[in-house]
């Protein structure tokens, strides 16, 4: 099944859609980061939070929608955006932060994907992940998780 994402429609509810990303970023206990990837970045709202928090970092956004990449690139021209599924992505360098707000539940093979993502982290790096799982609309569970790879902490 393929989805078409509309940045215009998505951003009508920007404040509401950005609040969970703000909460998740608040759990990232790093004072400094050089390489950050926003997985499933959408039209730029979560990427912008990362840029504001880690101003000197190289921030990359990943998303599968060309419309979302266009919207994000127009708003944040200093960032790099890639049209790629997270299951096929490999970073050019180790990452300090992998930020995945409400996206990994759409990716297949979590048992393989999550260890692979952790392997992309610098020692002391953070995989910040929040997954929404809804069996029924009235039984939605939101679980913010932040995990650190083993190694030094900043």
Q: Measuring CA to CA, which residue among 53, 80, 81, 50 is closest to residue 66?
A: 81
* DSSP 3-state of 50: helix
Element (H, E) at 117: helix 110-119
- Whole-prediction pTM value? 0.79
Q: Which residues of 34-55 are buried (b: 16+ CB within 10 A; e: fewer)?
A: ebbbbbbbbbbbbbbbbbebbe
Q: Over the chain, what is the mean pLDDT?
A: 80
| Cβ neighbours of 129 (radius 10 Å) | 22
DSSP letter, residue 30? -
For the chain, 154 residues long, give each residue's pLDDT as a single digit of tens.
Answer: 455 555 455 554 455 566 888 999 999 999 999 999 999 888 778 999 999 999 999 999 999 888 888 988 998 999 999 999 999 999 999 999 999 988 888 788 878 888 999 999 999 999 998 876 654 322 333 444 555 554 444 4
């Amino acid at each position: 099944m393929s989805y078409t994402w509309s940045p215009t429609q998505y951003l009508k509810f920007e404040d509401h859609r950005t609040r969970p990303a703000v909460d998740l970023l608040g759990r990232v206990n790093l004072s400094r980061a050089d390489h950050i990837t926003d997985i499933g970045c959408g039209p730029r709202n979560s990427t912008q939070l990362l840029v504001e928090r880690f101003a000197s970092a190289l921030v990359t956004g990943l998303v599968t929608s060309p419309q979302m990449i266009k919207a994000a690139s127009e708003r944040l021209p200093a960032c790099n955006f890639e049209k790629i599924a997270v299951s096929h992505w490999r970073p050019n360098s180790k990452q300090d932060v992998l930020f995945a707000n409400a996206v990994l539940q759409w990716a297949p093979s979590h048992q393989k994907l999550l260890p692979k993502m952790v392997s992309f982290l610098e020692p002391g790096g953070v995989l910040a992940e929040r997954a929404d799982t809804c069996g029924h609309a009235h039984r939605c569970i939101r679980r913010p998780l932040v995990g650190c790879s083993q190694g030094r902490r900043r």
